Amino acid sequence: MTIKIIPVNENNVIEWRKSVRRVFGDIPSKPDVERMLAGRFAKNTSWEKRLIAALDDETNKIVGTGGADEFKITAPGGKNLNMAGIAYMGTAPTHKRRGIFTSMMNKLHEQAKERGDVLAGLWASQSLLYSRFGYGLGTLREDWSIETHSTKLIQENETNIQLEFVEKEIAKKELFKIYDEFRKKQNGSTDRTEEYWNYILYENENSKHNKSGMSGLFFVVAYKNKRPSGYAFYNFNKESGIAHEDDKGELIVHELIAVDKETNISLWNFIFGIELVEKVTINRRSPHDSLYFLLENPRQLERMTIDGLWVRILDPIKFLEARKYNHEGRINLEITGQNQSDIEGIYEIDTNGETSIVKKVNSSPDISMRPSDLSSCFFGAITPFELVNSRNINAKNFDKLNLFSNMFNVLQKPWCNTDF
């Protein structure tokens, strides 16, 4: 048996998508596949150049799948970096332990470097899978639930902010602009194309009008001084179709985004003011979100912290030169291990904080680490001292460790809420 890594095209894309979803336990229809291709890839992006399959040449069947969406991610300081969004990864249960997954990951990384991507990122279905490929924990996320009758917000709304329900077609235009303004200022956040918005806002026409169970989506846009400044979209999970105080409904907030603190407070006051709801849930929030400090009884907020976006360095020099640093200085970083011989070496960072020059040198290292550890430190989700205490970083001395920590410190913790 020989396994070949091949591109995906219009002749095998249906089989490819079925193979992807089989791993995750569902069977897609042809319209589902067409919607994915139209939504996950921008009009000027050829999905045939970004999707791959592992083919068993004996059976001529696809036994492994992978691909890379196109993203830009905001680095500390506000610069955009081209990122390959690794996704669709899976190996058929009949072909485990044959190196197929590794071959596909290697191929996707090679393609990403050829395109000029500076890093790769992914959301892990299993967190133990990807550190061996050099992925480090770039962001953390929290999933929340709270019983709304048990607490309230301690801050009142500003009078210059108005909230308005809008229909989906209007919401798409407003959400796109608001989110783009937000993500350009948010460390660790990714862009979203218009096509991607269509993909995540898709609703099944047969279920969106449900009177019980899961409802369709509702869209609320905030306007500060008549300018769009935030939004929330949500739906209900109702026990019955009767609006009654004994109907223990759940409000599922799919996303709440604000470009300033006043709008954020107004949107949360709105959410907590919705009646006939016993519980509110919202996923993929930042562990440093301000809601905890806005609640009269913050202990009522149930928070589950888990891994968010994992990132892998593809071009260390462009990667390290892109961000702003919190402290001026010069330091030599050694990155080694995790099967990334193409980027192993010692890199000198010389920065005044705003601009930096990074080059590969033959000097002795001040700090030694794996590529995944540098990925974790880069956005600031994980601190160097945490990694030193877990013996993942070695420092020449305390002064060098302190300099490294000060340089990579961030005032704004990273947050990525775009799952892919």
Q: Side-chain half-sphere of 85: how many Cα atoms within 13 Å? A: 20
Write the DSSP string, 274-306.
Answer: -SS-SEEEEEEE-TT-THHHHBSSGGG-EEEEE
Looking at the structure, tell me whether residues 270 and 342 fall in a common domain. no
Count of all residues that appear for the chain in the document: 420
Task: Kindly state whether residue 52 falls inside one of the protein's structural domains.
Answer: yes
Residues 6+ apart with CB under 8 A from 40: 47, 69, 195, 196, 199, 420
Pairing of strands 279-285, 250-258: parallel
Q: Which two tokens stand for residue 143?
A: 């999933």
Phi, psi of 16 (to 5 degrees): -60, -50
Beta-bridge partners for 360: 347
Q: Are residues 79 and 202 in the same domain?
A: no
402: part of which helix (H) or strand (E)? helix 398-408
Q: Are residues 269 and 340 in the same domain?
A: no
Residue with tokens 């993500």: 183
Q: What is the pLDDT of residue 214?
A: 85
Please tell me what DSSP assigns to residue 158: P
The answer to whether residues 255 and 387 touch, using CB atoms and an 8 Å cutoff, is no
Contact (CB, 8 A) for 188 and 416:
yes
Whole-angstrom distance, CA of residue 309 vs CA of residue 286: 12
pTM for this one?
0.93
287 and 327 assigned to the same domain = no
Residue 113 lies in a domain: yes
Does some domain include residue 225? yes
CA distance 202 to 196: 10
What pLDDT, on a 0 to 100 scale, did the predictor assign at position 42? 65
Which are the contacts of 221, defined by CB distance < 8 A and separation ≥ 6?
163, 164, 166, 171, 174, 175, 178, 228, 230, 231
Residues 148 and 248 in one domain: yes
- Is 173 found in the same domain as 44? no
Structural domain boundaries enclosing 210: 142-307
Same domain membership, residue 268 and residue 193: yes
Q: Are residues 300 and 323 in the same domain?
A: no
Structure tokens at 328: 């001026």
Asked if residue 161 belongs to a domain, the reply is: yes
Helix (H, G, I), strand (E, B) or coil at 60: coil
Distance CA 108, CA 176 (A): 29
Same domain, 236 and 334: no
Structure tokens at 229: 């400044």
33 lies in some domain: yes
* 77-98 burial: b if 16+ Cβ within 10 Å, else e: eeebbbbbbbbbbbbbeebeeb
- The dihedral sign for the CA sequence 184, 378, 39, 209: negative
Specify the CATH number for the domain of residue 40: 3.40.630.30
Low-confidence ranges of the chain (pLDDT < 70): 42-45, 211-212, 240-247
Cα separation of the two ends of the chain: 32
Domain count, the chain: 3
Phi and psi angles of residue 128, each rounded to the nearest 5 degrees, phi first = -80, -5
pLDDT of 242: 58
The CA distance from 3 to 419, in Å, is 30
**pLDDT of the residue at 206:** 73
Q: How many CB atoms lie within 10 A of CB 26?
A: 10
* Spatial separation of the C-alpha atoms in residues 370 and 376, rounded to whole Å: 10
| Cβ atoms 420, 200 nearer than 8 A | no
Determine, yes or no, domain membership for 208.
yes
| Shared domain check, 16 and 64 | yes
387's enclosing H/E stretch is helix 384-389
Domain at 322, CATH number:
3.30.1050.10
Q: Are residues 260 and 280 in the same domain?
A: yes
Annotate 233-287 with DSSP letters as a single string: EEEEEESSSS--TTS--EEEEEEEEESSHHHHHHHHHHHHH-SS-SEEEEEEE-T
DSSP assigned state of 95: G
**26 and 73 assigned to the same domain:** yes
Distance separating alpha carbons of residues 59 and 388, to the nearest angstrom: 49
C-alpha 245/C-alpha 268 separation (Å) is 21
- The per-residue pLDDT for 37 is 82
